[in-house]
Amino acid sequence: MKNNSADMVFEGLLRIADDNLILGHRTSEWCGHAPTLEEDLALPNIALDLIGHAQTLYCLACEIDSRYKNEDQLAFLRLEHEYKNLLLVEQENGDFGNTVLRLFYFSTFMKYFWERVKIKCCFKKLKEFSEKAFLETSYHSKYASQWVVTLGDGTDESNLKMSNAIANLEPFLGELFNNDDFTEMCSQNDFLPEPRSIFDSWKNEVEAILQKGNLDFPAIILKKRGGRKGEHSEAFGYLLSDLQYMQRAYPNSSW
Amino acid sequence: MAKEHKEKIASLEAFQEKIDRDEKIEPKDSMPETYRKTLIRQIGQHAHSEVVGMLPEGNWITRAPTLRRKLSLLAKVQDEAGHGLYLYCAAETLGKSRMEMTQELLSGKAKYSSIFNYPTPTWADIGAIGWLVDGAAIMNQIPLCRCSYGPYARAMIRICKEESFHQRQGYEIMLTLAKGTAEQKEMAQRALNRWWWPSVMMFGPNDANSPNTEKSVKWKIKRYTNDELRQKFVDAIVPQAEKIGLVVPDKDLKWDKKRNNGQGGYAYGEIDWDEFWRVVRGDGPMNNERISAKQKAWNEGSWVRAAAHAHALKKQTALQAAE
């Protein structure tokens, strides 16, 4: 692989890995605090998948850039602006409804993302990984969609809470589908699909599920962005201080 | 009256004979009320312990030092939720609902293992819990795979397999810390100091002060007494600590060749039973925090459960209307 294409693959892997790590981190915060024991089992299980995906992708990134000797160096020892995750995934969990709605948005997006990588990707190892990632994100999307319908349809109170969650997450949806020079280069090189190309499939599915839950599809007018360039929200620093605590407090140790 | 009394004695004798033949008691079989109540209490407490036990370990998921450790801790805590589910189901076969048991946990009426009322201030506590607390749990639970009550015995077979994996994982965390930097080794030693005595106490009061033991042994709910299990635990753990260069915090610990019917075992120091009873009665370092966390989760989740219930009813009504 040529140098510039190595840079492209490294950056591309990092974006997806960071999304998965950070959403996995947020999801894992529910452990022991969920509304039912079944959800106490399901949410850590999903966090396990998400962080597992991040681990695989960081390992692939390390093979490409020899500055990083292992996956933990990427996961734990970068500075805030070096994380390239979406603002959507770093926001605090909010209530259970907000949590499952975000999971539904993200995993439905990733399901179509991996489906496209499965069909076409110049990086063979990622293409192979996409088989498993597609199955797991499809399951996450299904799990979350069931809760979105249940909570939307359930009671007046739960419907209101879900409407609030839709409004709360709306400003972060634009970034999910934002094309930039980088995503265009990835697409031209048959490496990764353009985010915007996923929008129609995503919208059809999300709209149908929201409708089942008597909820309205958001207008997506406000478009906060910055995560992909390393510009994060205030909540992110606190997340990193938890995530990085051990590696920062006890540098150069084996665990 | 005399006839009824005789019938009762006869059915108790028949029950005991069945137990003595090592036949399993199944949910629909007749059983003495005390047997049923003892099991509901024991299985319920066990289920609550799994669920409350998720909190001290869950405390370190977001701060685990590497991705590998984070993933195994997540998997472990998830296993515990699964154990809680199996056990509530096993207790339900005896006629008490999960909802009732949950209410008793949240109101403080039902007990769970006191060990989870101790805090996990450092990463090494995660190693110590796996090694010692899961280690002690296995000592208790392996004999339960042969418990006379079928559903409990069968649940324990799977649970024990997972617990023994957790124990090895915990010991491996401690081994890594003990081999690490001076700071890491000190972290491991401090965690061992914190968890040793509470783990030794996990087996419950001395046999002389454990009035229910005799009946539980007779009914094969328990196969060994508290002190027998405690001795097995100490004998297993002391050499493991020595192997990784950590010191068990008991100055009275010494080899005693008379223990275990002359085969030898470790004599250990006096247990602080005042502390044990204090924590059981609610005055431990984290009793309030653990129950408050469960109450908070339950209360904040009430709208979710109400919505799930309402949605299920609507679906059912729609289905009936369509028929």
- For A98, name the nearest residue in chain B, comparing CA atoms only: B304
**Nearest by CB to B74, which of A28, A72, A153?**
A28
Which tens digit of pLDDT belongs to each residue from B126-148? 999 999 999 999 999 999 999 99
Q: What is the CATH number of the domain that holds A166?
A: 1.20.1260.10
CB-based contacts of A25, cutoff 8 Å, min separation 6 = A47, A51, A239, A242, A243, B62
Structure token digits, residue A45: 């299980």
What residues contact B131, with CB distance under 8 A and at least 6 apart? B167, B170, B171, B173, B174, B237, B240
CA distance B174 to chain A (A): 9
Put simply, the answer to whether A97 touches B304 (Cβ < 8 Å) is: yes
Residue type, B89: C
Mean pLDDT of chain B: 95
Residue B146: how many CB atoms within 10 A of its CB? 13
**Among B57, B112, B303, B316, the residue to mutate for chain A (most A Cβ within 10 A):** B303
Tens digits of residue pLDDT in B146-172: 999 999 999 999 999 999 999 999 999
Task: Report yes or no: B184 at the A interface, CB cutoff 8 Å.
Answer: yes
**Nearest Cα residue in chain A from B187:** A250
Quick one: pLDDT band at residue B4, thresholds 50, 70, 90?
Answer: confident
User: Are B301 and A96 in contact (CB < 8 Å)?
Assistant: yes
Contact B70 A44 (CB under 8 A): no
- How would you classify the pairing of strands B254-256 and B265-267? antiparallel
Give the C-alpha separation, B8 to B18, whole Å: 15
> Per-residue pLDDT averaged across B247-261, rounded?
97
Task: Provide the sign of the torsion angle of the four alpha carbons B62, B65, B69, B71, taken in this order.
Answer: positive
CB-CB under 8 Å, A150 with B308: yes
Among A38, A45, A48, the strongest candidate for a mutation testing the B interface, having the largest count of B CBs within 10 A, is A48
DSSP per-residue letters across B92-156: HTTT--HHHHHHHHHHT-S---GGGGS---STHHHHHIIIIIHHHHHHHHTGGGG-SBHHHHHHH
pLDDT of residue B28 exceeding 60: yes
Q: Is the residue at A173 inside a domain?
A: yes
Asked whether residue A139 carries a pLDDT value surpassing 80, the answer given is: yes
Of the ranges A209-223, B210-224, B288-302, which one carries the lowest mean pLDDT score? B210-224
How many structural domains does chain A have?
1
Name chain B contacts of A96, Cβ cutoff 8 Å: 300-301, 304
d(CA B284, CA B290): 10
Compute CA distances B317 → A158, B2, B266, B309, B310, whole Å: 19, 54, 65, 12, 11
φ, ψ of residue A84 in degrees (nearest 5): -115, 20
Contact call for residues A90 and A175 (beta carbons, < 8 A): no
Query: What's the rounded Cα separation, in Å, for the pair B304 and B311?
Result: 10
Res B224 pLDDT > 60: yes
pLDDT at A15: 98
Q: Is A10 within a domain?
A: yes
ipTM beyond 0.90? yes
Per-residue pLDDT of A106-118, as tens digits, reads: 999 999 999 999 9
Is A153 close to B183, i.e. CB distance below 8 A?
A: no
Q: What is the predicted pLDDT for the residue at B1?
A: 60
pLDDT at B212: 78
Report B:267-306 residues touching A (Cβ under 8 A).
293, 296-298, 300-306
End-to-end CA distance of chain A: 34
B129: which 2 tokens?
């819990």
B51 touches chain A (CB under 8 A): yes
Report the distance separating Cα B57 and Cα B188, nearest Å: 16
Q: How far apart are CA A48 and CA A28, in angstroms?
A: 8
A1 pLDDT band, cuts 50/70/90, is: very low
**Number of neighbouring beta carbons within 10 Å of residue B256:** 12
Percent of chain B predicted with pLDDT > 70:
100
Chain B residue closest in CA terms to A95: B300
Q: Is residue A231 part of a domain?
A: yes
CB contact under 8 A, B180 and A36: no
Please, which residues have CB within 8 angstroms of residue A86's CB and are 6 or more apart in sequence? A19, A172, A175, A176, A227, A228
The B residues from 104 to 123 touching A (CB cutoff 8 Å) are 123
3-state secondary structure at position B265: strand
Instruction: Say if the Cβ atoms of A41 and B82 lie within 8 Å.
Output: yes
Please check whether residue A254 lies inside any domain of the structure: no
For residue A23, being part of any structural domain is answered with: yes
User: In which residue are the tokens 């047997």 written?
Assistant: B35
Under DSSP, is residue B191 helix (H, G, I), strand (E, B) or coil?
helix
Domain holding A71, by residue range, is 3-249
